[in-house]
Structures are given as structure tokens and as C-alpha cells.
Structure 1
Amino acid sequence: MGITSPERLADEENLNSINLTSSLTEKLIALDANGETDQNAILELKTTISRDRQSAQVESLERLKGVLPDDTVRKIHTAQETGAYNWLTCLPIRAKGFSLNKQEFVDAVALSYGWPVEGIPKNCAYGSPNDVNHTMTCKRGGFVCIRHEEVRDVTGSMLREVCRDVSTEPTLLPLDGEQLQYRTANTANEARVDVSARGF
């Protein structure tokens, strides 16, 4: 969603336009109605202009990174990832979760630009200073669970297309004296697995 300033680029783009149309301008001045412009030369000039424009943007970005806060630089890297703004151009299919209401759209734009999101409390329910990063990573909040459950549901939905007897969070059989290798294993009687699938 980066938008360039036409005012800053006007002089440079004017020179590019003059260089690109110079051969045609010369023929018009000479009243040469039979001559043809060299399309290969024009194509090469267009490529050069595009490459120079991109190089100038990269240099400008590198200069900005040297003076911007680390948090802003991290947001720039995130915005440059492939597909970061696909949600702006995709079809608003409600079944796929792509249909945003007004508040969701405003929040998405704010998150993309690193602007503060309106409406969130200054402190979380447990007294910690609250911001977007804390809201998304707080272990006592709901977003960590929501993200986990979304991955679980997507995995289950995809498995249902190729497997039989797919269930989410089924209860595991209770242990009967077995010793598990890893200390992080859940040995409670009500232990559950995220997704279970059998056969193809």
C-alpha cells in the first residue's frame, strides 16, 4: 500500500518522458511522416528507466531504515513479504473468511501501517501494558488460543477431504502404567489430541 508522491517525482518523470519520446519528437519537428521509430530502442529505454526507478526506491528505503526505529523497520519487512496485501485484492468470499466488515477493514489497515488500533484497553486484564504486540502474544489472552484453534480447524478440514473418520480434539485413552519418553507429554486422564484421522 505504499503510495509515491507525484510532486517529488514530477521532475524525474518529466525527464524520463522527454527521453522516451525524443525520437518521435524529432520526427514530428522534421515533418517526417514516413520514418518509423526504433521500437527495440524504446523498449530498452523503458527497461532502463524502470530499473533506475526501482534502484532509487531501494536506496531511499535503505536510507530510511538507518534512521527509523527498529519496530518500524520490522513492520516494513513484514509489509514487503510476498502476498502481504493479497487481502486487499481478493474476492470478499464470506465462506473463506475474506469478507471484512467496516471495523475489521479499519483494524487491518491500522495493523498494516503500524498505527494504533482504536478501542483496545490501555492495560490487559492482568495489569500488563497493552498494545497490539501484547494483545497478540499474551498467554492469558484469547488470540493465542484462537490462532491455535484456527490451525486445528483448517488441518481437520483438509484431512476430511482425503481421510475417513476425522475428528478434532478427541480424548486419548488413559495411560495404564506406560512411560512416555518426553517430559512435555500430557499424561492427564482427559488429555486430547488436536486432530485425529484414520485411513484414506
Structure 2
Amino acid sequence: MAIENPVQVAEERYNTSQRATSILTESISTGARFNIHEYTNHLVQEQTTEKKARDLRNKENSEEIMTTLNPEMRRTLQRITNGNASQWLTIIPLTADNFDLTPTQFRDALSMRYSKPLLGLRGICDGCGMEMDLNHALNCKTGGLVKQGHDQIHDIIAGLARQVYRGVMVEPIMREGSATEPGLLADIRIHGVWDRERASFYDVRVINADAASYSTRDWSSTANEAAKAKHRKYDTAAEDLHGSFTPLITSCDGILHTEFQTFSKKLVTSLAEKWDKPRSSIAGFVRAKIQLAIIRAVSLRLRGCRKMTRSAIDDTNSQIIREEAALCLEDGAPIPTQDY
């Protein structure tokens, strides 16, 4: 997780601090004239030098550790390291920003990140009855958990886009169904992303990059093939609507395909301009939002119920009326019967 031991790095940090503040220290102790510009330049230079040395040392340590891992774990970690999918580990888990995960979601995300066994995973799939393991949980579509997880992701993206763009629509119908041809739905439609007066359509796909069918391929080729398949499916319908199409391909680890990254950067730029905030902070905010949405979508596949349940009461509307009467509701508004 790249969390350094403060005991091991304390001396190095102290020495760096001494070197970086040497001009200020000398000015205070001798009364020499203090030049703020000289001090600032020296401070930045020392911090930059120390960071480069630290990054090089961490890279060497990482490469050394990689050689000791089994091929499956090494493949997963290399994909995550190269894919910049660690933003969610650096944020403050504020409930107000919906940045908090449940303990189970957090543990599952870490277990998948480091190819560790998932704790408490049921032995049999409650949807199809097959043996349950990580790959089956991620791939089984019984019960609609895959669709529900996709909905969480496109809802986050649509919500962010709605802050800066117009004409945002979830699940737009790109082609009506007919007797000879099925209908076609995208996940999101947005006006003004690539062209001010042109609509663009987007469809999300979350790929289990560690599935057996992808075990001999790297993430780049897997994502590119998935993006091409999306383009073949949606491009013609988008052109018929005088719009464009962009696939939003991501792995279960939160590693975005290049087209998803390009869209994300465009969204970040627009949000930073509207909110008058530094682009770097907005980029971190958006990446964290998307990564956490992916983690929750994956957690739903792992821990969600695929078995459908039904109510013993056939008339749901009558039950709702009885519940409202019991709560003294009138047109959906609670009316207290006494003062408290």
C-alpha cells in the first residue's frame, strides 16, 4: 500500500528538513538579511531532490518485491501500478462526499488488489447454484447484480457531468426495437463534451481482467478489444443521431481505458473551470469518485443476493395504503397528532 514506516524514514526526513530550511535557520541565528525568493527556490529544490531519490528507492524496492511474487499476483500488481488505480487509498473517507466504504468493501478491495483470498465468500452461488469463487462472483449475471453495479457507475458519471454539461440523460434509447432488430440503449447521453452542439453517447463496461479468458493477455490489449466491440455496436446508431460514441471501459481494479481517461480529463477540466478550483485537486476528486463507484459495483457482485424474493402480500398498493394510514400520512406527508 506504499505506507512508509515513520520510524525508518524519520532520520531522512529530519535531514531533508534541515537542508531545506538552512537559509532560514542561518538568518535567524546570525541576523543576516533574509531573501524570501532565495529561500523558496532552495526549499523547492531540496524537496524535489529528496522526492526523486525516494521515488527511485521505492521503485527499486517494488521491483525487488515483484520478483518474489507468484505470476498471478505479479500480473495483478503490475497492472494496478501502471494503471494509476490507487487514488481511493489516499483520500479522507468523508461521508459527506460519499468517500466512505464499509469494512467489507474495503477488505474485499484490498484482497483483490493483492490477489489474496476473499474472507467469508459463500461456497455456492445463490443464483445459479454453481461453485462460488472470485471469478464466478465477478462474471455471474444471474440476479441482475452486474446491471445494478453498472448503474452505480453511470449514475456517478452522469451526476458529475450534469454539473457542467446540458442534456444529460441516463439510459438513452439510441435505436427503437422492431420485429427484425432489437433496440439499443446506451448508459449516458451528454451534450457539449466534444462539440458544443453535438450529443455524445457513453456505455460502461467493467472487465474482470484476471478471468481465465484474459490470463495470457495484458490489460491494454484486453481493454482495446472491448472498446472496439463497443464501437462496432454503437457507432452507427450514434451517427444516425448526429452524435458520437465513447466507450467507458474499466477493470474491476479501477484501471481506465484510454478513451475513458480522455473523457475523464475533459470532465475534470470543465469542473475545474466552473468551480474555480485547481485542476489537480478536481482530478483527484473525480478519480476517487469513479474508483469508489467501481469498488462498490464489484462488492455488489461479491456480496449481493442473486436469489429473487417475493412478498406474501399480492396487493402491494393495498399494503402501502395500510402503512401510510398506520403512520398518519396524508399525501405522503407525516402529520403529528400531538405536540412533542
Q: Distance in 1 between matches of 2:156 and 2:46?
A: 48
SS of 1:71 mapped into structure 2: helix
Instruction: Give the partner amino acid of 1:34.
Output: A
- Please identify which structure carries the higher strand content: 2
Residue in structure 2 matched with residue 137 of structure 1 by the alignment = 139
Larger radius of gyration: 1
Q: Distance in 1 between matches of 2:68 and 2:102?
A: 36
1:1-200 map, 5 Å:
2-24=2-24, 31-36=29-34, 38-39=38-39, 40-80=41-81, 81-82=83-84, 84-86=86-88, 88=91, 100-101=101-102, 103-124=104-125, 125-128=128-131, 130-138=132-140, 143-144=145-146, 146=148, 161=167, 166-167=172-173, 172-175=177-180, 192-195=182-185
Q: Higher mean Cα deviation, 48-57 or 72-81? A: 72-81
Shift in Å at residue 104 of structure 1? 3.9
C-alpha spacing 1:100/1:192, structure 2 compared with 1 (3 Å): farther
Residue in structure 2 matched with residue 185 of structure 1 by the alignment = none
Residues 28-55 of structure 1: per-residue CA shift (max 9 Å, x gap): 6xx4112437423333222111111111
Residues 99-150 of structure 1: per-residue CA shift (max 9 Å, x gap): 755544554454445443333223445544x332331124668555555677
8 Å CA contact 2:77, 2:113 repeated in 1? no
Instruction: Give the partner amino acid of 1:72.
Output: M
Residues 168-192 of structure 1: per-residue CA shift (max 9 Å, x gap): 896x3224xxxxxxxxxxxxxxx63
8 Å CA contact 2:73, 2:115 repeated in 1? yes
Number of equivalenced pairs: 177
Structure 2, unaligned runs of 5 or more: 187-236, 243-340
Q: Distance in 1 between matches of 2:47 and 2:99?
A: 37
Name the % identity.
Answer: 24
C-alpha spacing 1:50/1:155, structure 2 compared with 1 (3 Å): closer
**Greater relative contact order (CA < 8 Å, ≥ 6 in sequence):** 2
Q: Distance in 1 between matches of 2:184 and 2:79?
A: 29
TM-score (norm 1): 0.58
SS of 1:67 mapped into structure 2: coil
8 Å CA contact 1:90, 1:98 repeated in 2? yes
Instruction: Give the partner amino acid of 1:135.
Output: A
Q: Higher mean Cα deviation, 4-13 or 117-126? A: 117-126
TM-score (norm 2): 0.39
**RMSD in angstroms over aligned alpha carbons?**
4.6
Q: Distance in 1 between matches of 2:115 and 2:109?
A: 10
Structure 1, unaligned runs of 5 or more: 176-190
Instruction: Give the partner amino acid of 2:55.
Output: Q
